[in-house]
Each structure stands twice: as C-alpha cells, then as structure tokens.
C-alpha cells in the first residue's frame, strides 16, 4: 500500500445521531454502530486509482516516527542552500544500501545533529567506518532540548564528555546507548559539541558561541513530525482537533480522542516500556469494542484528558512528548478496573 486517507462515511451523515453530533464526538456511547462511519481511500504503488472502503471503526497504528522528517528552520542566508557539502536526514540515510552508506561516511568529516537513538547509532556507524590513521572523527551536536536521562549519571561518563543534562529525571527522554559508543569516544572517533543554536556556513556549521566546525556531510537526527503525518490522513474538522490545545494529542486513556468518533490511536503514548504501554491499551480497546464496558460521556473524557495534559504541562518541560511514564501505574490500574481484570 502506497498511501491512504480517510473521510466520514456518507452513511454516517444520516439517521441518528446526526453528523453534527458525530463531529462533536457524541457517538462514543456505542463504538460499533452496525453501519459505516469512516471511508478509507487506498492507493497501491503500481496504480494511480483510489479504492474506497467503508468501516465502522478505524484503529490508527502508523506510528509517530518515520515518513515526515522534522527539519530545523534557519535564518536567511544561513540555511542548507549555502553549504557546499551534503545534507540528509536519518530517514534518508536509512534508505542507503551498504555500498552507498560506506561511500558517504568513509574518509569524510561528518556532523550528526541530534542525540536520540538514531543519532547515537549513526555516530557509531560513522566511527566504525573511519577507523585508522585516515579516519575522520564524527562530531555529534547535542542540542539543549535533546538530553540523556539524568539517572544514568552513575553509570555513563556524561560529565566527562560535557553531556550532563540540565533538567531533572525525565523517563521518556531516555536513549539507549550502544555498548561501544563511549569506547569510540575514548578513541577520539566521536567528539561532542553542545549548543543551543546552530546554522550553516559554506564549509560546515556555526554555533551560537561563535565557533565553527568544518564538515563534508551533515546528517540531521532531528526526529520526525508524527502529528503532521496524522494530519495527512484525517479530514477536517478532525484534522484541526488532534493537536488542541497544547500541540499534542488529547487522548483519553492514551488511545481515544473524545472528539473524533469511532477511531482509536495505538502507539502514540510513550513510557519507559512502549511495548507494554501499547499492549495494555490494545487489550483495553479490544474489550471496549467487545462492549465489555462503556466509555463515560464526551464531556467527562474531555475534562479528564485536559486535566492530565495540564498536569503534565506544569510538571515537565517535555510535556509535548505524549509521555505517560509519570502516570503509568495509576493509568494502568484505572484501565484494568474498567476491563475487570488485574495486572
């Protein structure tokens, strides 16, 4: 499947409840209504034709990462257009075959901007491709909003490399470090630069402390725009609802948007264990669809969801990441109580 998009079914606009109520989310009392609510358009790679399919319920599991890269914005005359080297995002690097990746990395000065999982793994790849006297070190640019988990200070030499975060414990900011990451740093194959802002110049990148780094290749490990990916498949007015009011998804129990009827979102809540978080919510959704329990009213779901979002906004600077780690035990207990089971 090359792509798809959705729209409210014509059948959903007739009868009771009226489409005005469906759009307001007031059909959640009965998730399976016995008639189509959504139509999905599907297009395959070898065809220009769209095929439409009607469904009573849609579960969105396309993930937050991949497809739409998050690209930084730069001041005038300080963007990629003035850089003479190569620029790509980690999503582009992942599409390279082994030979093309080797040609890109070997013998070149490479800067990786970012400090999450893909950026860390990429830095190790670059270091291993540049072993020996002819090898060039990889420079990792760590931005102020991308930091390792402070609780790992006892184990990892973060102070040694100037990587100690400024913030307190934030479990959904964890990044798993490859076994040989700091070994390559000790050999000088990975060097670190900490900066709040950066931009391009002709031969590399420049930082807010007036220092410059010459480089042949810049690889952006700056993440993905999962919200924009969702907006590409949702029609209005629901497209405008998904990031209201704080720019993140207001999901009841981390899976149901109170104002988007007959649709669930699995895999959009992060925790210390994302697999566990998604598995529990999948079981909760299956029991909801099996009418083992009923949802509260739309008003109650909206009120509770906004209350949790406001609490997250006041307690962590990373509240725009849909992280449920702080509330995971409480939410798990509440979901299990609704399902009539125990952890």
Tell whether 56 and 84 lie within a shared domain: no
Residue 73 lies in a domain: no
Residue 75 lies in a domain: no
Tell whether 198 and 313 lie within a shared domain: no
Q: Which of 182, 200, 220 is the last residue of a domain?
A: 220
pLDDT beyond 70 at 2: no
In this predicted model, what pLDDT tens digit does every residue of 60-110 receive, in sequence order?
998 877 788 999 999 999 999 999 999 999 999 999 999 999 999 999 999
Give 87's strand partners.
218
Mean pLDDT taken over the chain:
79
Residue 242 lies in a domain: yes
Q: Which domain holds residue 104?
A: 80-220
Mean pLDDT of 171-180: 65
Number of H helices, E strands in the chain: 9, 13
Tell whether 115 and 230 lie within a shared domain: no
Report the range out of 22-31, 133-142, 198-207, 290-299 with the highest average pLDDT: 198-207
Q: Which of 203, 220, 237 is the last residue of a domain?
A: 220
Residue 71 lies in a domain: no
CA distances from 25 to 2, 9, 22, 249, 297 (A): 30, 15, 5, 15, 9
Residue 262 lies in a domain: yes
Q: Kindly state the DSSP code that residue 11 receives in the 8-state scheme.
A: G
| Cα pseudo-dihedral 119, 120, 121, 126, rounded to 10 | 80
Tell whether 121 and 164 lie within a shared domain: yes
Tell whether 182 and 252 lie within a shared domain: no
CA angle 213, 218, 224 (to 5 degrees): 130
In this predicted model, what pLDDT tens digit does every residue of 309-337 receive, in sequence order?
787 777 665 545 556 555 677 778 888 88
Tell whether 245 and 321 lie within a shared domain: yes
Residue 293 lies in a domain: yes
- How many domains in the chain? 2
Residue 74 lies in a domain: no
Tell whether 233 and 325 lie within a shared domain: yes
Tell whether 101 and 118 lie within a shared domain: yes
> pTM of the predicted model, to two decimals?
0.76
Mean pLDDT of 236-256: 83
Residue 188 belongs to a domain with what CATH number?
A: 3.50.50.60
Q: Which of 160, 186, 220 is the last residue of a domain?
A: 220
């Amino acid at each position: 499947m090359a792509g798809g998009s959705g729209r409210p079914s014509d059948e959903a606009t007739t009868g009771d409840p009226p489409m005005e109520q469906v759009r307001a989310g007031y059909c959640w009392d009965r998730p399976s209504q016995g008639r189509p609510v959504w139509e999905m358009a599907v297009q395959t790679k070898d065809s220009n034709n769209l095929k439409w399919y009607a469904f009573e319920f849609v579960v969105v599991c396309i993930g937050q990462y991949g497809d739409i890269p998050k690209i930084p914005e730069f001041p005038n005359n300080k963007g990629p257009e003035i850089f003479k080297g190569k620029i790509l995002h980690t999503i582009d690097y992942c599409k390279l075959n082994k030979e093309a990746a080797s040609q890109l990395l070997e013998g070149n000065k490479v800067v990786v901007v970012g400090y999450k999982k893909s950026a860390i793994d990429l830095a190790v790849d670059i270091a291993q491709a540049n072993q020996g006297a002819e090898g060039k070190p990889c420079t990792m640019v760590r931005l102020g909003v991308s930091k390792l988990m402070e609780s790992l200070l006892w184990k990892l030499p973060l102070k040694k490399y100037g990587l100690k975060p400024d913030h307190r414990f934030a479990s959904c900011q964890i990044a798993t470090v490859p076994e040989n990451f700091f070994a390559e740093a000790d050999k000088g194959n990975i060097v670190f630069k900490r900066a709040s802002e950066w931009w391009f110049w002709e031969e590399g990148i420049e930082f807010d402390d007036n220092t410059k780094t010459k480089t042949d290749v810049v690889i952006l490990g700056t993440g993905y725009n999962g919200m924009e990916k969702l907006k590409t498949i949702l029609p209005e007015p629901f497209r405008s609802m998904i990031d209201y009011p704080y720019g993140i998804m207001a999901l009841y129990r981390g899976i149901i948007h109170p104002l988007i009827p007959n649709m669930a979102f699995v895999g959009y809540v992060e925790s210390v264990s994302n697999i566990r978080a998604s598995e529990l919510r999948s079981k909760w959704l299956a029991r909801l669809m099996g009418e083992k329990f009923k949802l509260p009213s739309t008003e109650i779901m909206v009120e509770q969801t906004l209350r949790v979002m406001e609490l997250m906004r006041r307690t962590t600077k990373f509240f725009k990441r849909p992280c449920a780690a702080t509330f995971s035990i409480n939410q798990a207990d509440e979901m299990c109580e609704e399902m009539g089971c125990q952890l």
